[in-house]
Amino acid sequence: MVDSKSLEARDEFEVFRHRTYLNWASLSPAPARAIRAVTQMASQAASFRTGSVDPVWHPLSNQLREEAGKLINAPAEEIAVCGSSTTQGIQLAFDAIRPAKGDNIVTCDMEFPSSGAELRKWKAGGTEIRIARSSGGSFTPDDVIELIDGRTKAVVLSSVSWVNGFRPDVETISRAAHEKGSYVVLDSVQHMGAMEFDTRKLRPDFAAAGGQKWLTSPFGAALLYVSRRAIEELEPPHYSLNNSPEPEEGWNSYFARRDKTGFEEFASVPAARKMEYGGWLNHVGMVALKESIALINSVGSSNVQRRIRDLSRVLREELEGMKFNVISPADEKSSSSITTFEAGGAEASMKTVNRLFEKGIDVSCRGGSGIGGVRVSVHHMNNEDDILRLTTALRELKAA
């Protein structure tokens, strides 16, 4: 049965009026409420009707942190707004952790290429990179844990794999990593907004997610969860007024003072905000992301996950009925919102994706670590008719 709130949410997305959109793991269309918020902000930027926009825009970062906290079961103080993307959040995490020569970082071979690029930087400085090898698109907790030792500075993993949607046992891996004193860094862009994400259960030290996928806000803002442990133990990667506490007299009075030199020392704020930097944040991105997350929260993470599982089950049954090899996990513990199936090799899969696009159906072609195929990503706003249009088109392509 479709949740009425998911039906209401579907009306927020114009894309459904002219496309069968099943590509949320790639890039998300924005809901109408986010567009309205951005339009209003643009109007404020043009008019300055109330004078400076600072009093109007400044509270947005806290509002976004509070809304994000509801989504991932974390206090607002443990959430940073980390710029434009997941990658930027992961980079900030490692710039704070600062692995040194002789340390090691543990990861796996199923990570997104941006994570690999970041780790190459630390490898060049003498940090050892230890890579757990997957088999058939999955790996066990022991595959990762056996690589962790007392010199492991961090373990970095995707909490949902970008190619086939595999969801590793992060809870078990986090426990083992923390026992060795390691930090846990998660790429959670394919997780937050689609599957339930509970920071108190998964226990990451950092978890980054750009807004442009399952959080449905492609306006260049991202979240970075930072654990209380990391807040207390690590120094900010960059020092700036943005991650410093406001002076007692307020910023305007401080800026007016003639006795300052620009070299005063500020303590960083004792919150995830210490990972933020610069002066102004991306307020346009923040207001859009806040509205998009609020829409997800209005449905509820458990309801979103349940709806996605129901639709994904229908999709898998249809695909298997057509004799496609579905390479995404089937069990509830390891599956997610991504369903990837083989449609021949990479060239054939890409051809299938392009032909579906011509029919008004959006999916992706993804591969890596020995697996790949056509990736279908279903959100809770989708319905059974979307699945039927996809599978009908696939039958037509097979018959052609």
Residue 186 belongs to domain with CATH number: 3.40.640.10
Distances from the Cα of 90 to the Cαs of 114, 209, 264, 326, in angstroms?
Answer: 9, 9, 29, 30
More confident position, 109 or 248: 109
Same domain, 185 and 208: yes
Same domain, 204 and 142: yes
pLDDT over threshold 80, residue 324? yes
CB 238 within 8 A of CB 277: yes
Q: Domain end: 252, 277, 296, which one? A: 296
Average pLDDT for 160-182: 98
Q: Domain end: 296, 318, 336, which one? A: 296
Range of weakest confidence among 11-15, 245-249, 359-363: 245-249
pLDDT over threshold 70, residue 111? yes
Of the chain, the percentage scoring pLDDT greater than 90 comes to: 80
For residue 107, give the 3-state DSSP assignment. Answer: strand
CB 285 within 8 A of CB 219: yes
The rounded distance, in Å, linking the Cα atoms of 192 and 211 is 9
pLDDT over threshold 60, residue 4? yes
Residue 372, phi-psi category: left (phi > 0), alpha (psi -120 to 50), beta (remainder): left
More confident position, 111 or 245: 111
Same domain, 167 and 212: yes
Distance of CA 164 to the CA centre of its chain: 16
Q: Domain end: 281, 296, 311, which one? A: 296
Same domain, 289 and 172: yes
Same domain, 271 and 312: no
Going by C-beta distance under 8 Å and a sequence separation of 6 or more, which residues neighbour residue 77? 65, 231, 271, 272, 273
- Provide the pLDDT for residue 265: 79
Average pLDDT for 205-212: 97
Angle at 7 between CA 196 and CA 327, to 5 degrees: 50
* Structural domain boundaries enclosing 289: 35-296
Query: Which residue from 202, 88, 108, 121 is spatially nearest to 162, judged by alpha carbons?
Result: 108
Average pLDDT for 163-173: 98
CB 384 within 8 A of CB 314: yes
Same domain, 78 and 206: yes
pLDDT over threshold 80, residue 56? no
Range of weakest confidence among 264-268, 334-338, 376-380: 264-268
Same domain, 200 and 256: yes
Same domain, 85 and 222: yes
- Provide the pLDDT for residue 2: 57
Same domain, 170 and 236: yes
Same domain, 240 and 132: yes
Number of domains the chain is built from = 2
The rounded distance, in Å, linking the Cα atoms of 381 and 384 is 10
Same domain, 257 and 324: no
User: What b/e string do you get for 20-49 counting C-beta neighbours within 10 Å, with b at 16 or more?
Assistant: bbbbbbeebbbbebbbebbeebeeeeeeee
283 bridge partner residues: none
- Provide the pLDDT for residue 1: 47
For 209, the token pair is 């997610």
For 94, the token pair is 């490692």
For residue 185, give the 3-state DSSP assignment. Answer: strand
pLDDT, tens digit, 9 for 90 and up, residues 60-102: 889 999 999 999 999 999 999 988 899 999 999 999 999 999 9
Query: Which residue from 272, 283, 243 is spatially nearest to 55, judged by alpha carbons?
Result: 283
Same domain, 90 and 18: no
